[in-house]
Every structure is written in C-alpha cells, then in structure tokens.
A and B are shown apart, each in its own frame.
Chain A
C-alpha cells in the first residue's frame, strides 16, 4: 500500500500495474479456474441429471439400466392412473390448506411482534424455533399429539370425557392433520419475511399518519398493508413452491394413507421409483411436478424483478 501511495516513484512498475488493472476486465481463460470447481459439480450433479431425468421419463427403466424407448407412454400411464390423479389433487388440497394459513398467521404474528421489546424478541424466537427442527422430529412430535389412546389430544379430550378426532386414521382428516403439523413447523419463515418487510416501511409515513390522527385500523389498512403487498405475494409463491414438495410429513405420519387420502405427488414419485423401481414412471411424475413448480418459480422471478425496478 505504501508504494501505491507514492505516485511516480517507479514508473515502469506503475505502468505494469495500470496494465494489470486493465487486465481485470479482459476475458481470460485462466480466470475460469475460479469457477470451474463449482461448475464441475453443477454440471455433473445437476445439469446432466436434469436432462437424464427427462430422458429416463421417455424410457422403461429400472435401477441399473435404461430399457427401451417408450416415448410418452410413461406420461400416458400417469394420466390413466387414478391414484396419480388423486395425488395431484391431494397436493393441491394440501397447498390450499397450508399456504393461506401460513401467510395469514405469519402476517398477524409479524404485525403483533414488530416492536423493540424483549418480550417481542423472545416470542419471535419461540415462533421461529420449530423451523430449525428436522421433519423427523416434527412428525414424531405431532404423532404423539394426534395418536389415539395416548396422544396429547386424546388426553386433553379425555379430561372432558370427549373423544378426540382421529386426525391420522380418518381419510377426511389425515391431510388436515399433516397440514396442522406443517403450519406449526413452517410458520417461522413467513413471519420473518413479513417482519423484515414491515421494518422497511418508512417511519415518516407513520408519523404523518399519526399527525393526521388516523386511527390504528386506518393506518394498518391504508398504509401498512399496501406497503407490504409485494411481500405478501412473494410469501404466497415461496410457500406454494415449498409445500408442493410435501413428502416427509406425509410419509412419516400416515404413509400417505388411509387409502391414499394423504398421499402427495412426491410420495407417489418415491414409491414408484424406490419401492416399485419403475424409474421411468417416477421420472415422468417428477417432470410433471417440475413443471408445476417452475410455473410458481417463474412468477417469483418476475415479482422480485419488479421489486428491483421500483427500489
């Protein structure tokens, strides 16, 4: 640094350095060395498997090899399979159960806890805590809540001489039970996203509103909510993408039952591929899930783009 601070002390070195600065922007093959270690794994373990998956979905394949080319037959098989149509419906139902609940509860918590007190900080920590647990622990916890005879729910209902709803064994309630466990598990993220959005609303707007003697509800309705509208849409999309991939909760709490009532797409893929070893069918189902998620992800991309333009 000391040398650089003395201009002209060594003119040839300075010229070399100037050339070096120009080199910074020259496209050089050796610069690829910095990105190539990552790109190696990116290509071999993400790009190639992605196209290989599409290829597999057009073949009859088992665990160790690719069989004959069958065209779109795997896709036709899926759409003729009543269970596949049912699991697509189940997945949409699950998204419908969880995503609005996560967005609304997350928003309410953020509004309630957006303040600088120790109590609020502690409560934020409590509400986020479940998010760091693994799906295994979450389902273990919720099965001990829901399970008949000795669950927490059954015990509490028992005090009042009532029978608890059989969340995991009743086909009409199984998905709702999984949704409750999922909202409990995932509520931290939407709450935090809303909190950071609320903190970005300029303070001056609130001050102006309080000078106008605007009521609390009016301030909430006309200032706070409109200014976090984009975050609301973003949370919805993020959660749609996440909840579309429901797997562990359903597999560990109900095995998709009873009668496939709580079986989501990913569980169908898992069973087709890794239990029945019908890799072509599993791959075709994966591609359909991929397309569904892609639609949501594209929406997210365009919305965060718009955010960049306005900011």
Chain B
C-alpha cells in the first residue's frame, strides 16, 4: 500500500502538467464553437463594422427570432426527423429478424449468405451510389421520403451486430422455450428480443446519428428545397457566405441545427461512444 501511495505522490506533479495541457487543448478545441455561438448572438450590422465587437455587449437573440420567422430550418428538421426516424425503426426490425435468423436458425445456403452480407461491410458507399441514383431516377424515387430512406436499409452493419449479439445469448433459453411448444417467432419476440435491448440501443443511436449527419445521398437525391434534410439545408445557406451581412443569421442557423445533436449526445454519451466505436471496429 505504501509503495502504491508513494508512487502516486511521485506521479502527481507530472500528472498535473498533463492535465493542464489537456484542459488547455480542450479549450482551444472548443474555441471555434464558442466563436460561432458568439457570432450568432451579434447584430449583423455591428459585425460588419467591427469584428472585435464579438467580445463585448450588446448581444441579441434577434437572429434566432429571425429563424422562427423566415427560415426553412423547421421544414428541414422535420424532413430529417422523418428520414432518420423511419430508417432507424426499419433498420432495427430488419436487423433483429435477420440477426436471429443467421444466429439461431438453419436454412439452405445460410453460411454463404452470411458471408455475402459480411463482405458487404467492406463496400464503400461510392461504389454503389451511381447505380442507385440511376435506379431511383427510373423509379422516380428522387425527392421523396422513401427515396431518402431506402438506401440506408441495405447497410449490413446492423445484421452483423445483431447476429453477434444473438449468438452470445445461451441457447438453453431457446430450448427451454421450445419445450414449452413456443413457436420460433414467439421465442424470438418474447424470449430473446428483450435481451437484446442494449444492442438495439447501440444500433438505433448509430443508425439515427449517421442518417442525420449523412451528406452524400441526400445531396444527390433530395435536390428540391422542400426535400432537403437539415444537413443539406444548412449547407445550402452557406453559398452566400462571403457577404458578412448575414453572418450572424447564418451562425444562428448552425447553432440551431447543431444544438439538438449535442444535447442528445450529453444524455446518451455512453451509447453514442459505444455505437460509433463498435461500428468502426466491427
């Protein structure tokens, strides 16, 4: 015990320096966000005459009130909620069914199909994007909600995650239920599915977040202003960026769009971190 505590004392000086450096770096890292928030609280005319006015009063929430009055931001948020929400629910349903099927049931070509799906993990979006776009042009799916949602359903990550998760559940549970003459679907629904809640949360948050932040597919599929997702909509407001007259307003839109995700992150931090790192390693 004494050797451990003396080790602690020896470490604390170095530890403190490291901690100070990490805190200093965190402040530098947050500075751009603080800058954007500060700009959003300034009057546009004042910004044009003197940028240093950012650092002192008066601040105003006029830009945010302007959003309520004029911006399409609400429509874009609604679009994003619909697209990400429906995609997340459907992904959870499809992945759970398929994960159970691959992990617990046997059917012809099961292993070959599973390997095929896992190979799909290595396919980057760009390799399928152009053909998907052409297919959706023929089907007249562009600028519709289903056009924005459907491509996400093909992602193999959810199936991979759920298959792994179902495999980790002891088989005795299914067998006990089978002795009760429960149907295959009932076992899945009543016995196993409730046990996969942590994986459902991980997959759900990951799917929602990546769909919410997706930039490429909505950019080429939802090209009408009223079908923009929030990510695309905010990007579209950046075109007149060089004119600083709208700077404060532009920044308030960015804060308005970024804040909900950051707040969500504060509440679900653990799940989000698990989901994002899990998806990366797979």
Categorize the interface residue count of chain A. Answer: 35 or more
Contact B110 A238, beta carbon cutoff 8 Å: no
Contact call B181/A17, Cβ cutoff below 8 A: yes
CB distance from A33 to the nearest CB of B (A): 8
Is A75 among interface residues, defined by CB-CB distance under 8 A?
no
The answer on a CB contact under 8 Å between A141 and B254 is yes
Q: Whole-angstrom distance between the alpha carbons of A230 and B159 in the complex?
A: 26
Partner of B272 from the list A64, A132, A266 (CB cut-off 8 Å) is A132
A52 within 8 A of B: yes
Q: How far is the CB of A24 from chain B (nearest CB, A)?
A: 7
A96: CB under 8 A from chain B? no
**For B247, what are the chain A residues with a Cβ–Cβ distance below 8 Å?**
144, 150
Is the C-beta of A224 less than 8 angstroms from some C-beta in chain B? no
Of the candidates A38, A61, A127, A270, the one whose C-beta lies within 8 Å of that of B26 is A127
Interface string of A101-119 (1 = CB under 8 A from B): 0000000010011000001
Chain A residues in 8 Å Cβ range of B107: 27-32, 35
Once bound together, how far apart are the Cα atoms of A152 and B54, in whole Å? 10
Q: Are A34 and B106 in contact (CB under 8 A)?
A: no
> Which residues on the B side are within 8 Å of A225 (C-beta)?
none
CB distance from B166 to the nearest CB of A (A): 11
Residues of A within 8 A of B4 (CB): 210
Q: A3: nearest residue on chain B (CB-CB)?
A: B180
Q: Size class of B's contact patch?
A: 35 or more
State whether A283 touches B130 (Cβ < 8 A). yes
Inter-chain contacts of B264 with A (CB < 8 A):
132
Q: Are B262 and A132 in contact (CB under 8 A)?
A: yes
CB distance from A17 to the nearest CB of B (A): 4
Measured between alpha carbons, how far is A136 from B11 in the docked complex, in Å? Answer: 42
* Residue B128 interfacial (CB < 8 Å): yes
Indicate whether A287 reaches chain B with its CB closer than 8 angstroms: yes
Instruction: A30 to B30: give the CA distance in the assembly, Å.
Output: 55
Interface contacts beyond A42-B120, A50-B123, A134-B213: sample of 4 additional A-B pairs, CB < 8 Å, sorted by A: A28-B106, A31-B107, A130-B33, A133-B262
30 pairs from A and B in contact (CB 8 Å cutoff): A1-B180, A20-B181, A27-B106, A27-B108, A31-B184, A34-B97, A38-B97, A38-B98, A45-B128, A50-B123, A64-B134, A112-B18, A127-B26, A128-B269, A129-B262, A130-B33, A134-B213, A135-B231, A139-B238, A140-B254, A141-B36, A144-B35, A150-B47, A188-B273, A188-B276, A210-B7, A216-B11, A234-B281, A247-B215, A252-B235
The 4 closest A-B pairs by CB, nearest first: A34-B101, A49-B131, A45-B154, A52-B131
